[in-house]
Structure formats: structure tokens, C-alpha cells
Amino acid sequence: MDPEAWSYDRIVVATLPAEGAGDAKASAVTAFERGRSLVSGPDNTHGEVTLYAAVESPLPDELTEEWPELSGAVPVTSSAGQSLFETAAARCEGSTDPVIYCEDGAPVADGDEVETLAVVIEDADVSYWVVPGIVKRYQLPDEPDAFGDPLYCADCGAVTEHDRVEEDRADRPEGGVLTCRVCGTQRRGPD
């Protein structure tokens, strides 16, 4: 994919149980990979999250200006963790793009879900951590057929490239099996 075809979108956080910072970061990577609603809109193919701790270049000021100091991973019970969680919770109100993701990749979409998550964190027997990440938004190519006829994913609906996992065979003329690069759903290819 063209490295110029992406841009920073927003900051998100994974809020999940973990035994330490390393465990929290590993779980956050999985949670963000499972996240289905990272980006929306007709001009985007998909989005992906890079953990804040793994970002090598400075982020644009407009991306971070309304956030407290970002870190790799912090316990929710710490002052830095509380600040990150409260800022993310406030951004959930009225936002169309989720800001908080749970361990299973499910987005926390509104104030009621934030309150439910806060109760779960408070009642948990394990420590919860907040791990910030940066969403990268990938743009559709300028030419609509830059990667052949566009395919709509049968599951997530994205218009994106699909990887061929099973070649066309004489006994299966329907185009082989293709896997969506966004969510991994397999489907039969076009004729």
C-alpha cells in the first residue's frame, strides 16, 4: 500500500485488565486489531492503530492538544491513568468515532457504556490499564480501479483489497477464496 495514502486520525485508548505494562500493551495490540469501527466514510479503505509507545515521529499538535500527557501504558488507578480515562470518556460524548476500546475490541460508544466500564473497573479483582494508541486512516486510491475491481467485504463492508487464499480450480469456477485485508473475513471471489 502507498505509504503516502494514510494520515493520522485520532487518539484512542484500550482499557483492559493486565498484570503489568508489558501485558497491557500486548493486550492492547490485540484489542485494536479486533476493533471493527476504527474509521468510517466513503473515502477510506480501513484504519489501524499504532501504540503511542511505538510512534517514532512527533505527532501533530492538533492531535494531542486536548489530551493529558500520553504514555505507553498506565494503571487506571494512577493519576495519569485517571486523567487519560476521563479525557477519553469525555470524548465519547457526541463522537461518531469510538475513543475507548475494550479487551475484545468492542468500542465504548456512549456515556452509559463508559459508566458500565467504570463500574467493571472498580469492581474488578485485577488491575485495569489504559494504553493509548494513534489511529491511522487509509485513503482510497485516486483511481477507483487502482487495485482492480473493488471488492466489498461481506462482513465489515469495507471496499478494500482482498488476498487470494485459494486459487481458481476447474471444479470450483466461482473465483477462488479471498480474504479481506481489514477484518480477515473470507469470501468467494468474483467470476
* For residue 94, pLDDT beyond 80: no
Query: What's the rounded Cα separation, in Å, for the pair 25 and 73?
Result: 7
- Are the CB atoms for 16 and 102 separated by under 8 Å? yes
Q: Mean pLDDT over residues 69-83, rounded?
A: 94
* For residue 132, pLDDT beyond 80: yes
Q: Mean pLDDT over residues 25-31, rounded?
A: 94
Q: Which residue has the higher pLDDT, 173 or 155?
A: 155
Q: What is the pLDDT of residues 42-74, one digit of tens each?
A: 565 667 888 999 888 888 899 999 999 998 999
Query: What's the rounded Cα separation, in Å, for the pair 57 and 16?
Result: 26
Q: Mean pLDDT over residues 100-129, rounded?
A: 91
- Annotated domain spans of the chain: 3-138, 143-191
82 contacts: CB under 8 Å, gap ≥ 6? 76
Q: Look up residue 2 and give its three cell numbers.
A: 502507498
Averaged pLDDT of the chain: 80
E strand or H helix at 112: helix 111-123
Q: Mean pLDDT over residues 24-41, rounded?
A: 82
Residue 174's pLDDT is what? Answer: 55
Specify burial of residue 41 (Cβ count, 10 A radius: 0-12, 13-18, 19+). exposed
Residue 1's pLDDT is what? Answer: 45
Query: What's the rounded Cα separation, in Å, for the pair 24 and 1?
Result: 29
Query: What's the rounded Cα separation, in Å, for the pair 12 and 36?
Result: 13
Find the angle CA(99)-CA(114)-CA(134) to the nearest 5 degrees. 15
